[in-house]
Structure 1
């Protein structure tokens, strides 16, 4: 009789525990599913924001510039690594002029060449993306370490210099940039950035007679 009661009690306890276990697992699965939905929504929103930006410009020299800069940086690293060996070998010869010449050549190709290349290519715009909601442009350039640098600006932030400098088409927020009109997806984008859609001012100057009359 006691054994029968123990079996009934154990069966009753198992019957109470199993629904609780199943209920807890269902809650956990529900929480996991809700978390998965939220993460998928956040990822989808980020993807949609990136897709909203329209690429309106691409610089065709971007692959060549990256390849040249990679070669320049790698050659500079090799020159720095080999410079102690070159100096040691040059000192064994005992010629001061030869030592100065070798150090000058190695230093030129190690330091001067990458800097000159960066000064020329830092203004080159590789891509321009446009956000139609905020009317904002995102220009991408390449820095010294081959990393992409992005600049956000609007059409009113652009200044077109009267006398453009070397490799300078416009100045956006004080930064000179170089772009080419033929590589835009549509000419209207180039005209909007450069301010060619604004009305022209044909007033060349003010005459002194007009100044005397107004005074």
Structure 2
């Protein structure tokens, strides 16, 4: 059994959420005409809040990560609100991303990223 990368699941959930929001956006004029309560419905609000909430939660999830040993920098690939890949170059001290430790081929790279290779003070 291999390592499970959440990147595919995160992308799938975002696509489903965007799709359901688009369908509800297309149906909203009909619903507004049919009923006066559509704009107060919790379900209608959830259709539009869910994609925003999903993006806020998963915007820092790293899909791929590479380490440049010469400059001691990392390049993280995340997805933006439009599900396009976004690259971020950062140093170990600047880490603020959600990284899956099981995706590292070399455990020493993860230990270096987290700072476990530094003396404890």
Query: TM-score with structure 2 length normalisation?
Result: 0.86
SS at match of 2:86: strand
Structure 1 segments, 4+ long, off by >6 Å, are none
**Residue matched to 1:147:** 84
Residues 1:106 and 2:38 aligned together: no
**Residue matched to 1:72:** 17
SS at match of 2:118: coil
Q: Which of 108, 111, 117 does residue 188 from structure 1 map onto?
A: 108
Which entry has the higher C-alpha Rg, 1 or 2? Answer: 1
Bigger helix share: 1
Query: TM-score with structure 1 length normalisation?
Result: 0.51
Higher relative contact order (CA 8 A, sep 6+): 2
Query: How far, CA to CA, are the matches of 1:198 and 1:105 in structure 2?
Result: 50
**Residue matched to 1:82:** 27
Query: What RMSD over aligned residues (CA atoms) do the two structures have, in Å?
Result: 1.9
Name the count of aligned residue pairs.
119
**Residue matched to 2:56:** 119
1:59/1:126 contact within 8 Å kept: no
Residues 1:177 and 2:109 aligned together: no
**Residue matched to 1:135:** 72
Structure 2 unaligned regions, length at least 5: none
